[in-house]
Amino acid sequence: MTKSFRIDALVALCWALFASGPVLAGEFSVNPIRLELGASVRSSVIGVKNEDKQKLSFQLQAMEWTQDAAGKDQYAETQDLVFFPKILSIEPGEEGLIRVGAKTAVVAAEKTYRLFIEELPGTTRAPQGSGAQINVLIRFGAPIFVTPPKPRDSLDIESFILTKGVVTIAARNTGNRHQLVQGINLKGTDSAGNEVYALTLADRYLLAGSARSYTTPISAAQCAKVSSLALEFQTDKLSATRKLDVTRTMCP
């Protein structure tokens, strides 16, 4: 991946709603934003560019990344990744390089990690005379995937139901590598085949072996028009579809 991830003071505007003084954040970009390692690529490099006018420093931490039964991200300390340096200081306009490698590069099912790049306190300073301020320290977790030599992509829609006007979808990644969810598309049509309802639910990663449920309501007025509800679960690697015949007892 070559796309860069840029973090700057605009992020701090969200915090300004809760703060009485100026809110400051260092400006830096990360490129690439994720890495894929494996038998053929055992190590790679992440660049962090300082786009601020001040020197920025960061501390790095590798964490194993899993998802629980509800699909929520979980992190635990790990020694599976080798990375250098542990502390990174970058002058304005310069780029620092982080070298990352996997101790075990051959796996049957994908192993997933995040390398957290966290800005250290005191690296972003307010101009003189600016008064009280709040420093926002950005922490970005770059996904690191150790991919299997024989990738297999498979997704199971375990359930697709409509009860009292609430759509519930349960999906499981039955393959051996992650799926990047691009859209969970719902389309409702009436008895004549005309589209009367459409919605796209957003999500990000569904890791290998993980399952997740998604819910969304349909208003009584819209539900009364729908006779058929179609689902397309689209990822970066595949799509899965399901169809549901809607009866009035399913609506609120």
Q: How do residues 131-172 score in pLDDT, each as one tens digit?
A: 555 567 889 999 999 999 999 999 999 999 999 999 999 999
pTM of the model: 0.83
- The string of pLDDT tens digits covering residues 137-148 is 889 999 999 999
**Same structural domain for residues 224 and 125?**
no
Domain-located, residue 250: no
User: Checking DSSP bridges between strand 134-136 and strand 23-25, what pairing results, if any?
Assistant: parallel
Of 99, 126, 146, the residue at which a domain comes to its end is 146
Q: How far apart are CA 184 and CA 236, in angstroms?
A: 12
**Same structural domain for residues 107 and 61?**
yes
- The CATH number for 231's domain is 2.60.40.10
Contact 12, 25 (CB under 8 A): yes
- The string of pLDDT tens digits covering residues 77-110 is 999 999 999 999 999 999 999 999 999 989 999 9
219 Cβ contact list (under 8 Å, min separation 6): 165, 252
**Same structural domain for residues 131 and 163?**
no
